[in-house]
Amino acid sequence: MTFKTNLINIVLVDTIHPGNIGSVARAIKTMGLKRLSLVNPRVFPSGDANALAGNATDILENATLYSSIQDAIKNSTFVYATSARDRSIQWPILNAEQASTEIVEQANSEKEISIIFGKEDRGLTNDELELANKLIEIPANPEYPVLNIAMSVQLILYEIFKASSNVRPREWRDYPEVNSEQLQRLIKHFIDTAIEIDVIDPENPKKIISRIKRMFTRLQPDEMEASFMRGFLSGIKKKLK
């Protein structure tokens, strides 16, 4: 693989069965990647995880544990989440092939990427999905569109593996994009300011807050743009005093 595989971070959230963690580790190594982040797994480390990892136990040994998704993805410039749920507020959606092309371009441009997978029985909540820039869907039989975590990881990483030898990155930005932690601070600053100037009613926000989050994650501002926006918001607050 021509891109830096250590820049792609596979994040499993609230995994119930440790065997699934082992199967994911095997999928990660099979596709030439290295990084596994675990957010509040029910059982880990585990003999079941080791057994299903096969010869990929080194992925398990080097896995990083986190208490929140925010901590697991905070250094990532681009965040993708996998979802099969219908949302009242639509989010940018790609299939695995489309996402893989973007991900390889981003990794070749020295950007860190996180791909989030939810708990086996419910996936990711809407709040968790809103931490992502885009969602990845895997088309499947509508009568039984059920993939376990390891299957989903394998399919997406296979597409990344295929795309890695063909894509030539073209970087057009003059400043680096904000990472996830910086983006979430900007979104909070904007929403807090909007509430303070009575643009948003905190008692009846309807869907506007989700739309604001979607707007900022879709725009993917760079560090200069985010700095200007936060300065602009701070200037508004000073005028209110």
- Average pLDDT of the residues in 108-115: 95
Tokens of 32: 């030439």
What 3-state DSSP class applies to 2? Answer: coil
Q: Which domains does the chain show, CATH number per domain? A: 5-163 (3.40.1280.10), 180-240 (1.10.8.590)
- Tell me which residue has tokens 């250590």: 6
Residue 164 corresponds to which tokens in the numbers above? 């890695």
Work out the burial of residue 174: count CB atoms within 10 Å of its CB; fewer than 13 is exposed, 13-18 middle, 19 or more buried.
Answer: exposed
The pLDDT score that the predictor gives to residue 1 is: 47
Residue 204: count of CB within 10 angstroms of its CB: 7
State the average pLDDT over residues 204-216. 90
More confident call, 172 vs 67: 67
Under DSSP, is residue 12 helix (H, G, I), strand (E, B) or coil?
strand
- Residue 180: strand, helix, or coil: helix
Share above pLDDT 70 across residues of the chain, in percent, rounded to a whole number: 94
Q: How far apart are CA 119 and CA 149, in angstroms?
A: 8
- Examine residue 139 and say whether the peptide bond preceding it is cis (omega within 30 degrees of 0): no
- Cβ contacts of 159 within 8 Å, gap of 6 or more: 96, 97, 99, 100
Q: Is the pLDDT of residue 158 over 50?
A: yes
pLDDT score at 144 = 84
What is the per-residue pLDDT for 23?
A: 97
Instruction: Find tokens 């096969």 and name the residue.
Output: 54
**pLDDT band, residue 172 (cuts 50/70/90):** confident
pLDDT band at 85 (very low <50, low <70, confident <90, very high): low
- Give the mean model confidence (pLDDT) for residues 39-45: 96
- Higher-pLDDT residue of 114 and 164 is 114
Lowest mean pLDDT among 11-15, 32-36, 82-86: 82-86
pTM: 0.84
Q: From the DSSP assignment, how many helices (H) and strands (E) are in the chain?
A: 10, 7
